[in-house]
Amino acid sequence: MYRVLYRKYRPRFFSDVIGQPQVTDTLRNELKSNRTAHAYLFTGSRGTGKTTCSKILAKAVNCLHLQDGDPCGECEICRGIDDGSIMDIVEIDAASNNGVDDVRLLREEASFTPANTKYRVYIIDEVHMLSIGAFNALLKTLEEPPPHVVFILATTEVHKLPATIMSRCQRFDFHRIAPDDIAARLESVCEQENVGIDHTAAMLIAGIADGAMRDALSLLDQCMGHGRHITEEMVRSTAGLADQSHLIGFTDALLEKDAAKAVSMIGELYAASKDMARLCEELTEHFRSIMLIKTMRQPQNYLMMSESEYEKTKQQADKMKLSFVVSSIDVLQSAAEKMLRGANRRTEMEMTAVKLCMSEQQKNDTSSLETRIAALEKAVGDLKIHPPVPTGQKTEYKRTYQSSAAVKRPSQSEMEKLRKEALPMTQWPEIVEEIKQYSITNAAGFEGSTAYISGQYVLVDSDKDICFEQLRNSELRARMRDAIKRITGREYKLGRYSYPDEKKSEDALTQLMSDFQSAGIPVENIH
């Protein structure tokens, strides 16, 4: 009978396990020093080697001629475990044997000494599927097992295990295997199978597998059914992926706001039997690549694509705003969730394309409409307080800050009057969010700050000195003024809103005026 690749090429020694040195090196050292634990817990995502290492460990603790922490593979114990003739290694699927009675039977068997080996080893796969009663029944045996018993628990969802179980095991975390390591393993397997494979095809399979060696070998097995030389196009066809050119072309249509072209491309892919949910997932991954290119200095380390694909993706990234990229990912993920809940996949994908083409800023959604309405209401309020000046006339607005030329400090009643003239700026949190896209560090200085509008000035108030230190940065002030104009539709100058206090020294007042000068406000014109 034909053996699938992931079974045929399953590692038989710790040295053959790919991408898990933090597990294999530790286990080999423990075995060499004869420090075998009574219970192990292997955790990690699917296809990363948990069951494989469990089988190797079961052989290693019983091997008659251990070789540098690895089972020899030649002694009667190793051969008997491989061919299934030794019954002291017990594999249990907790998904189908998860009741109290199953665990009680296991406890009874564990009390008997092994027939052929030094240790009776119980490998419990998907252990998180055990019921609460089964966990409680296992607890005492796991804490104080007979000296001839070793438990190996494996799970993909360690958070579902009771803390009392985890505390009684040596825990080993299996990581997702790096794409380069998976690709190298696939090329090695193809060489042994006398099958040709392009490096780009191997890397594409590694990317699809998402760190799971078993998934990668299974997809390779499928591709080998199509031909004896595996190309990138063959992998895409076998896995039902859209060609990279379709993803680039679809994104170009979104940038051009050409909804007809985008919907037409969806129709072509649908006619070619491409799964719409998978297409949505691939587009999400493509926009993720664009997001990383726009936010990281060396994104190539986190992207699995050829140089030509990277250059095309980078060209698209240069044409997009980061806000549009993040918004697009959010819309695509929302569409994917609806598809999983049973929505018509083609219709949902077409609706998503139209939404993304309508506007870069997605101004049709509720949150954007609320923002625009708030800006309009604020503009109307400002017009009521400061009506437009007829052409040819000049007016001067009173400001709520004080000049260093005014030697006499304002009285408490005068300060109260000045406060009443200032209007709170409701859009200030949105402006701070805009600054975050420029610099998260700078925006942090404005956390908890407020702002007021007085005439042609926006006056910032905060109890953090760093806020006003940052306002001295001319580039940051320019970006902040641009953000204010985009959100409010009006141009404002920036200043500091001050609360005169009788307890403040003259030096503090002088420092206040220094802040105004740094913010670009002429001292001689302040009154």
Q: What is the CATH number of the domain that holds 351?
A: 1.20.272.10
CATH, residue 235: 1.10.8.60
Please tell me the predicted confidence (pLDDT) of residue 511. Answer: 56
The answer to whether position 393 is within a domain reads no
Q: Answer yes or no: do 383 and 454 share one domain.
A: yes
The answer to whether position 370 is within a domain reads no
Pairing relationship of beta strands 196-197 and 229-230 according to DSSP bridges: parallel
| Alpha-carbon distances of 297 from 1, 291, 292, 300, rounded to whole Å | 51, 12, 9, 9
Number of domains in the chain: 4
The answer to whether position 448 is within a domain reads yes
For 46-102, give the DSSP string. TTSSHHHHHHHHHHHTT-SS-BTTB--S-SHHHHHHHHT--TTEEEEETTTS-SHHH
- Domain end residue (candidates: 211, 239, 267): 239
Q: Answer yes or no: do 50 and 163 share one domain.
A: yes
The answer to whether position 331 is within a domain reads yes
Query: Is the distance from CB of 339 to CB of 348 less than 8 angstroms?
Result: yes
The answer to whether position 371 is within a domain reads no
The answer to whether position 136 is within a domain reads yes
Range of the domain at 410: 379-387+398-525
- Domain end residue (candidates: 174, 204, 228): 174
The answer to whether position 336 is within a domain reads yes
- Domain end residue (candidates: 150, 174, 198): 174
Q: Answer yes or no: do 42 and 106 share one domain.
A: yes
- Burial class, 34, CB count within 10 angstroms (exposed 0-12 / middle 13-18 / buried 19+): exposed
Q: Answer yes or no: do 195 and 308 share one domain.
A: no
Residue 155: strand, helix, or coil: strand
How far is 338 from 263, CA to CA, in rounded Å? 18
The answer to whether position 367 is within a domain reads no
Q: Answer yes or no: do 277 and 350 share one domain.
A: yes
Residue 378: strand, helix, or coil: helix
How far is 441 from 437, CA to CA, in rounded Å? 10
Q: Answer yes or no: do 170 and 82 share one domain.
A: yes
Q: Answer yes or no: do 60 and 31 share one domain.
A: yes
| pTM score, whole prediction | 0.60
Q: How far is CA 331 from the centre of its chain?
A: 16
Query: Is the distance from CB of 79 to CB of 70 less than 8 angstroms?
Result: no
Q: Answer yes or no: do 228 and 309 share one domain.
A: no
Q: Answer yes or no: do 23 and 167 share one domain.
A: yes
Q: Answer yes or no: do 468 and 332 share one domain.
A: no
Q: Answer yes or no: do 228 and 250 share one domain.
A: no
How far is 53 from 113, CA to CA, in rounded Å? 24
Please tell me the predicted confidence (pLDDT) of residue 417. Answer: 56
- Residue by residue, pLDDT tens for the chain (527 residues) are 678 898 899 999 999 999 899 999 999 999 999 888 999 999 999 899 999 999 999 999 999 999 889 999 899 999 998 888 888 899 998 888 888 888 888 888 888 888 888 999 999 999 999 989 889 888 888 888 889 999 999 999 999 999 999 999 999 999 999 888 999 999 999 999 999 999 888 988 988 888 899 999 999 999 998 888 999 888 888 887 777 778 888 898 888 888 899 999 999 888 888 888 888 988 998 999 999 998 888 887 777 776 778 888 888 888 888 888 988 999 999 999 999 888 889 999 999 999 888 754 444 455 555 556 666 666 666 555 555 555 445 444 444 343 333 334 445 565 455 556 678 888 888 888 888 777 777 777 788 888 888 777 788 888 877 787 877 888 888 888 888 888 887 888 887 776 444 434 444 445 555 555 555 555 554 44
CATH, residue 22: 3.40.50.300
Q: Tokens representing 301? A: 């380390």
Q: Answer yes or no: do 23 and 147 share one domain.
A: yes
